[in-house]
Amino acid sequence: MEVKAIIVTIVCDVLGIENNGTTIAAMNLIRSLKQRGHEVRVVCPDQTRKNEPGFFVVPVHNLGVLNRYVAKNGVVLAKPDRKILYSAIKDADVVHLMTPFALCIAARKIAKKLDKPLTAGFHCQAENFTNHLFLMNCRLANLITYKSFYHNIYRFCDCIHYPSQFICDLFEKTIKNTNHYVISNGVNNCFKQQATKKPAEYEERFVILFTGRYSKEKSHRVLIEAVSKSKYANKIQLIFAGDGPLKEQLIELSHKLLKNQPLFHFFTRQELINVINYADLYVHPAEIEIEAIACLEAITCGLVPVIADSERSATRHFALSNTNLFRTNDSIDLANKIDYWFEHPDERRQCSKQYVGYSSQFDHDSCMAKMEKMLFDAVKIVSQRKTNKKIIYYADELHDDFSGTHIQTSKPDSSYRYAPKGILWRLAAFLLYRFIATPIGFGMGSIGYGLRIKNKKVLRPFRKSGYFLYGNHTQTVFDAFLPTLVAFPKKTFLLANPDAVSIHGIRQMVQMLGAIPIPGTNQGMKNMVEALEKTNLDGNCIAIYPEAHIWPYYTRIRAFPANSFAFPVKFDAPCFSFTTTYQERKSIFHRKKKPRITVYVDGPFFADANLDRNQAKSQLRDEIYTSMQRNATKYNEFQYVEYRKVDIAAKQLNSIIEGQA
């Protein structure tokens, strides 16, 4: 299936040299979307890209005395320019925000005014921000930061990209559930295991690599201290790939503790690939980490990692065994793990093979395809919102129920009376059914749904005999009245879920209206079958929704078992199908309102007397299912609610998406 090219505007408060995870993630996404044929517009403060096609460059924030500090981090911060933002967003199909800062906040405001689909990436942990305020370990400061992120950006987004399940769970537990997409930023395909010779000066040394910005939360100090405590300190060569504000402090600490001085250097991509492939061990001591692409790049090349087990880092989940983990900020434990891998080269080679296979799930192309799908989903969500369409996510076609009721069910037992004989009760039931419920049903049908019933003539030959009606269950309230309107003027009884008689105060009324609840005991089931047989012999209609569970406005027929077809087989009664279909209402008074209902009646269907009971049930079920499916396919013209199948964990999105729709 050909994918339509769209215009994507990506807004980056931070973009420049690819020396930080956010910039790397942004550039990977930009390059990937362009390769897939999409037009990409990038709003950023990178002044070197002013004349580059597709880049909308905004001014750089002048932070006065803080400029030097920001420069030490190897980044520049954007100053919002609304004219530039508007020109980049006005014709876009979707807007993607990379960070929850000033430029993206301004872009969010413009995108929402223009009613553009809006997505955002979650690339900044609270601690990445509060670290600069010396409040990294202050829970209140981190909570306020997350609340600010949500208030300024994420509450407005149609879809949110989380690079790891860790940060998704953390944010949603701290703040609120979101329409989340957990997608790794992916590892570029150029990172591969390859034979690479060590530089001559390192040939006799055990090379340990760590890639990360030189900042407090990356915990370089712990690794330096661990190497100084190792039994093999004189044989170890540290390489710190990166740059950052703490470079001078780390060099000074290394001079104090280590004989072999570490290499501090920002490598090009190809240089880094070479370093990874000649290194002997990768250590990731960072305490704060959303995903750590640097670690993924290393293990993709087969480099065995030792990772801090920090609860505030997603990287710990990359450990395949305890020997790949060390206690956070514990330099002695890290020294022991380094010594273990130094002393077990054969096991290290075996572990390397395991990591090459493990890393395949972070394939760059696969991850970028998921990102592309998220952008298309955002476009679809906004389109559906504009057409008043809702989305419901389901996991189990047979058992999921979207009635929206939360009744404490009480199943009838053997004492339940299915056929009260008192004359006053029967008189009250007659009056309630004929003079209250039936007129209400016709009123709801004609005014609320523009109801039309087609092919009702097939019921006429059976005006004086009992029969069964089988229909698709697509209305929460109206489905209780619909069989009455289809079979009118015949009295209709409805085989119902026990919920129908579980509400105190209206139990008798529901029974008077014809509800026959399914019992919870064998004796109760026997009583129900006897009641159904009498109802059928009295020439009444018995309506059954074999799908059992309510899926509002569903336009297909769900699979259903043959159980409920035992009754017409046992009573040798005719069966009919009635299929509820939906059409758009054209009247100006019903613009963006609920669709019109047209019901198609088919039949009669009879059980084959030459088959045994189970075969006859299946035969009836198949004939009626085919009839309903044919009518649903042919006559449904309007999708008011879209149903999407997902895994069970994603079912929690229903309330979120419905709220957005």
Distance separating alpha carbons of residues 368 and 362, to the nearest angstrom: 10
Give me 507's structure tokens: 């139990």
Distance separating alpha carbons of residues 103 and 11, to the nearest angstrom: 7
Taking a C-beta distance cutoff of 8 angstroms, is the pair 117, 158 a contact?
Answer: yes
The predicted structure's pLDDT at residue 71 = 65
Residue 407 pLDDT exceeds 60? no
Q: Based on the domain organization, do 21 and 139 belong to the same domain?
A: yes
Distance separating alpha carbons of residues 84 and 489, to the nearest angstrom: 68
DSSP 8-state code for residue 532: H
- Identify whether 88 is part of a domain: yes
How many structural domains compose the chain? Answer: 3
Q: Based on the domain organization, do 474 and 518 belong to the same domain?
A: yes
Distance separating alpha carbons of residues 343 and 352, to the nearest angstrom: 15
pLDDT of 87-98, one tens digit each? 999 999 999 999
Task: Identify the helix (H) or strand (E) that includes residue 346.
Answer: helix 345-358
pLDDT of 141-161, one tens digit each? 889 999 999 999 999 999 999
Query: Which range, of 325-334, 393-402, 448-457, averages the lowest pLDDT?
Result: 393-402
Strand runs labelled E in 371-415: 390-394
Give me the half-sphere count of Cα atoms (radius 13 Å) on the Cβ side of residue 584.
Answer: 10
539 Ramachandran zone, left/alpha/beta (phi>0; psi -120 to 50): left
Distance separating alpha carbons of residues 247 and 598, to the nearest angstrom: 73
Q: Based on the domain organization, do 428 and 568 belong to the same domain?
A: yes
User: Any residues with CB less than 8 A from the CB of 253 and at least 6 apart, and which?
Assistant: 221, 224
Q: Based on the domain organization, do 141 and 217 belong to the same domain?
A: no
Distance separating alpha carbons of residues 513 and 529, to the nearest angstrom: 18
Taking a C-beta distance cutoff of 8 angstroms, is the pair 13, 19 a contact?
Answer: no
- Identify whether 22 is part of a domain: yes
* Average pLDDT rounded to a whole number, residues 469-495: 95
Prior bond to 45 cis, omega within 30? no
Q: Which CATH number does the domain housing residue 513 bear?
A: 3.40.1130.10
Residue 1 pLDDT class (50, 70, 90 cuts):
very low
Q: Based on the domain organization, do 520 and 618 belong to the same domain?
A: yes
Residue 478 pLDDT class (50, 70, 90 cuts):
very high
Residue 591 pLDDT exceeds 70? no
The 10 Å Cβ neighbour count of residue 35 is 10
Taking a C-beta distance cutoff of 8 angstroms, is the pair 10, 42 a contact?
Answer: yes
- Identify whether 176 is part of a domain: yes
- Identify whether 75 is part of a domain: yes
Q: Based on the domain organization, do 346 and 214 belong to the same domain?
A: yes
Taking a C-beta distance cutoff of 8 angstroms, is the pair 604, 459 a contact?
Answer: no
The 10 Å Cβ neighbour count of residue 425 is 14
Give me the half-sphere count of Cα atoms (radius 13 Å) on the Cβ side of residue 125.
Answer: 28
Mean pLDDT over the full length of the chain: 88
pLDDT > 90: what percent of the chain? 62
The 10 Å Cβ neighbour count of residue 62 is 9
Residue 661 pLDDT exceeds 90? no
Residue 589 pLDDT exceeds 70? no
Distance separating alpha carbons of residues 342 and 206, to the nearest angstrom: 8
Distance separating alpha carbons of residues 543 and 624, to the nearest angstrom: 13
Residue 500 pLDDT class (50, 70, 90 cuts):
low
Q: Based on the domain organization, do 78 and 136 belong to the same domain?
A: yes
- Identify whether 413 is part of a domain: no
* Average pLDDT rounded to a whole number, residues 73-77: 68
Q: Among 343, 360, 377, which residue terminates a domain?
A: 360
Residue 583 pLDDT class (50, 70, 90 cuts):
very high
pLDDT > 70: what percent of the chain? 91
pLDDT of 337-365, one tens digit each? 999 999 999 999 999 999 988 877 788 88
The predicted structure's pLDDT at residue 590 = 46
Q: Based on the domain organization, do 124 and 204 belong to the same domain?
A: no
Q: Based on the domain organization, do 205 and 58 belong to the same domain?
A: no
The predicted structure's pLDDT at residue 82 = 93
The 10 Å Cβ neighbour count of residue 64 is 7
Q: Based on the domain organization, do 123 and 241 belong to the same domain?
A: no
DSSP 8-state code for residue 131: G
CA distances from 97 to 10, 44, 53, 72, 405 (A): 6, 11, 20, 24, 38
Distance separating alpha carbons of residues 433 and 537, to the nearest angstrom: 20
Query: Which range, of 195-209, 283-297, 428-442, averages the lowest pLDDT?
Result: 283-297
Q: Based on the domain organization, do 162 and 213 belong to the same domain?
A: no
- Identify whether 648 is part of a domain: no
Residue 524 pLDDT exceeds 50? yes
- Identify whether 656 is part of a domain: no
Please give the biggest Cα pair distance in the chain.
Answer: 105
Distance separating alpha carbons of residues 63 and 79, to the nearest angstrom: 10
* Average pLDDT rounded to a whole number, residues 236-256: 93
Distance separating alpha carbons of residues 319 and 229, to the nearest angstrom: 23
Prior bond to 498 cis, omega within 30? no
User: Any residues with CB less than 8 A from the CB of 569 and at least 6 apart, and which?
Assistant: 607, 613, 616, 617, 620
Q: Based on the domain organization, do 262 and 136 belong to the same domain?
A: no
Residue 657 pLDDT class (50, 70, 90 cuts):
very low
Q: Phi then psi for 504, rounded to 5 degrees?
A: -65, 140
Q: Phi then psi for 281, rounded to 5 degrees?
A: -155, 145
Domain extent for 551: 423-641
Distance separating alpha carbons of residues 426 and 424, to the nearest angstrom: 5
- Identify whether 655 is part of a domain: no
User: How do beta strands 575-583 and 236-241 pair?
Assistant: unpaired
DSSP 8-state code for residue 302: T
Length of the chain: 661
* Average pLDDT rounded to a whole number, residues 446-474: 95
Q: Which CATH number does the domain housing residue 233 bear?
A: 3.40.50.2000
Residue 41 pLDDT class (50, 70, 90 cuts):
very high
Distance separating alpha carbons of residues 33 and 374, to the nearest angstrom: 12
440 or 293: which carries more pLDDT confidence? Answer: 440
13 has which bridge partners?
Answer: none
Give me 320's structure tokens: 């395949």
pLDDT of 510-522, one tens digit each? 888 888 888 878 8
